[in-house]
Amino acid sequence: MSVQALPYIVVLGFLYGSTLVVSRFSVGQFEPSTYIGLRLMIAALAHTLIYAVSSKRHWSKDKRLWKHAIILGILGTAVPMTSIVTGLQYISSGLASILITTNPALTVLMAHFLLSDERLSWRKTFGIGLALSGAALLALSGESGLIGEENQAHIGYVLMAIAMVFGSAASVYARKYMSDFDSFDVASVRMLSASLTVLPLSVLFVGFDLSAVTTVGYGGLAYAGLVGTFSGMLLAFYNIKHFGATAAAMTSYVIPIFATLGGYLLLNEVITTRMIIGMVIIVLGIAILNQRNPQRFKTTSPV
């Protein structure tokens, strides 16, 4: 990986990390599913605008792409993002970002069983075990990253686990069935299908009450949709195209820094010794996992 990639990695880490902080603020004003549905709709509209103004891009007419991208949109975007944001009611944005860092470990573990060309080595196995043990240490300690919220932290961990399992499975699915499709077209259909799944279900089951949302809340929603989701995805694709898979892998190490510091400075979240120890163990495990073979899976927004 070239030195030129570092600013792009840092910026992408900031976009994703700051979006976690904004999302945790937003769950105090929106229902989580309403927030995610609107956020995905904003991102989908941004994709639509790109198609409308670009002479080189048009909505794909490939039925295979639509079929697979819709599956990814529902199971690999709608479910994980809703679970993560709902989980932010019980754990801090910093802790959530640390747990999300274990995603590559779960992805490689699933790939071993589902993809014929992704075999586990002793190095990979050790890295996976180390990363997951760091996450387990945090879960068993009951750490929430919030003041006085330890009693319900387990709910946040369960929701984060659901998000990571579905997100990792989506990465393996994309690697198996969608490696020959244009990444932007796939992302466009994913965002559209995810928004059309989450928003109607949210209206049906929890209603659509925006009476508690302030101007700052709407600003946070716009930031998360346009900056964290849409712009973050474009930058992630740019990084992979110009700097390779290593740059994509390195972003995972940067996100917790911005999310943890942002939550501490802006939302009165706490940084504990247990969080630091857990993060070090997880990052060390992922570093061992990526030592020679950076992840080759299609990038997805982790937040």
Q: Higher model confidence: residue 251 or residue 185?
A: 185
**What's the CA angle centered on 178, arms 187 and 123, to 5 degrees?**
105
Torsion, Cα of 22, 25, 29, 30 (10° steps): 50
Nearest to 101 by CA among 271, 234, 259: 259
Asked whether the beta carbons of 93 and 70 are under 8 A apart, the reply is no
Both tokens assigned to 98: 């640390």
pLDDT-derived band at 171, boundaries 50, 70, 90:
confident
Torsion, Cα of 29, 31, 35, 41 (10° steps): -140
- Range from 148-157, 212-221, 243-252 carrying the lowest mean pLDDT: 243-252
Q: Look at the block and give the residue holding tokens 């932290």.
A: 153
pLDDT-derived band at 217, boundaries 50, 70, 90:
very high
Four-residue CA torsion sign, 69, 73, 74, 75: positive
CA distance 220 to 215: 9
* 235 three-state secondary structure: helix
The whole-number pLDDT of residue 50 equals: 94
The whole-number pLDDT of residue 94 equals: 94
38-67 pLDDT, tens digit each: 999 999 999 999 999 998 899 999 999 999
Amino acid at 166: F
The whole-number pLDDT of residue 291 equals: 75
CA distance 248 to 103: 13
| Whether residue 296 has pLDDT greater than 60 | no
CA distance 112 to 142: 31
Both tokens assigned to 66: 């639509």
pLDDT-derived band at 149, boundaries 50, 70, 90:
low
The whole-number pLDDT of residue 162 equals: 96
The whole-number pLDDT of residue 214 equals: 96
pLDDT-derived band at 279, boundaries 50, 70, 90:
very high
119-130 pLDDT, tens digit each: 888 998 999 999
Domain layout of the chain by residue ranges: 3-289
The whole-number pLDDT of residue 10 equals: 93
Long-range contacts of the stretch 67-72 (C-beta < 8 A, 24+):
68/173, 68/174, 68/177, 68/178, 68/181, 68/186, 69/178, 69/181, 69/185, 69/186, 69/188, 69/189, 69/190, 69/193, 70/189, 70/190, 70/193, 71/173, 72/170, 72/173, 72/174, 72/178, 72/186, 72/190
The whole-number pLDDT of residue 295 equals: 55
The whole-number pLDDT of residue 164 equals: 93
Average pLDDT over the chain, rounded to whole? 90
Q: Higher model confidence: residue 268 or residue 295?
A: 268
Q: Which residues of 20-48 are buried (b: 16+ CB within 10 A; e: fewer)?
A: bbbbbbbbebbbbbbbbbbbbbbbbbbbe
The whole-number pLDDT of residue 61 equals: 93
The whole-number pLDDT of residue 239 equals: 82
The whole-number pLDDT of residue 118 equals: 76
* Percent of all residues in the chain with a pLDDT value above 90, rounded to a whole number: 67
5-27 pLDDT, tens digit each: 889 999 999 999 999 999 999 99
Both tokens assigned to 147: 């003041």
Nearest to 282 by CA among 128, 91, 72: 128
The whole-number pLDDT of residue 265 equals: 96
